[in-house]
Amino acid sequence: TFQTDFEGFRNSTDIRGADIVFIGDSFTEAGNLPEPETFVARTGRSLGESVRNLGRASYCPSEELVILKRYGIRCHPSIVVWQFCENNDLEEEVNFQTWKDRGRPPVDFGAGLDRTSAWRRRSPTYQLFQRLRRHEPWPLSGQFFDAQGHAHRVLFEKLPDASNRPAQHAGWPLMEQALSKGADLLGRQGIHPVILLIPKKIRVMGHSVDFNPPAASGLPQDWDLRPEETMACYLSRECADLDVQFVDATPQLKASAARGELVYLPMDTHLSSQGHAVVAELLVDAIQGSGVNAQNQRND
């Protein structure tokens, strides 16, 4: 559980104006960590600027654009950090577009299902734990040894596949369109955008674990995406075309994992507190490097 503000977003205090607004999905909302440990709070503390978390679990960029228009702009920020997710943004874009094409019907959670039950049915993280409760052997797992030599069992949802490749995926044009519209809106408002990409867990931790024998025996040598196939490659090009600042957290998270930092939660698909610290440091460097001083711009 976590505390929400007057509009239902993950903020422990009601704040109507903020120097920096964050939009994104569950990686930004970060409901699995105490609020002070999130990259939103860490970034604000490091820069000495006010922040508002408008992240919402399971949202895709097209939905996040709605959040930006309805709630983010009203905060009059000087900077907007827009977090993208390699894990499921492409698939969620297709789901959202399908819902719109059907005339935006009331969301059907299934016969007799409440929101919690519906979430359990569709959440990769919950299904991971469901498999564990049935004591079935988890097919894709390994041992991670941290810098102190302690072993951690790490579970992965699945290997990268077509759902993580923008090429020929129906979700990419939708994502591209949302980013373009958002960049145009922010540009007209004089707001500096920072696009942040959080990679899929296995693409970071999978290079630093000893996979269990069943997984290792069936693991192809080229299981990871090629650089030109990644969402980072596509977003980098799009952001360059739009003249928008782009931060790919993948290289630094990989480097941190290689040093023995457990940057993702062992039994979850999301970042750990250490992972949030890594992302916050990247954001602080990016914002400081951009030369944008949020507080001074807001005062002006």
Residue 110 is predicted with a pLDDT of 58
Q: Flag whether pLDDT at 299 surpasses 50.
A: no
| Chain segment 37-59, per-residue pLDDT in tens | 999 999 999 999 999 999 999 99
Average pLDDT over residues 244-268: 98
Whether 24 contacts 53, CB under 8 Å: no
In 3D, which of 28, 33, 37, 94 has the Cα closest to residue 56?
28
Average pLDDT over residues 274-298: 86
Count the residues in the chain. 300
Average pLDDT over residues 93-112: 85
Q: Average the pLDDT over each of 34-38, 117-121, 175-179, 225-229 and give the range with the smallest value.
A: 117-121
The two beta strands, 151-155 and 141-145, are antiparallel
Percentage of the chain surpassing pLDDT 70?
A: 94
In 3D, which of 15, 13, 148, 140 has the Cα closest to residue 76?
15
Average pLDDT over residues 82-97: 96
Distance CA 17, CA 25 (A): 21
Distance CA 89, CA 109 (A): 20
**Average pLDDT, whole number, for the chain?**
93
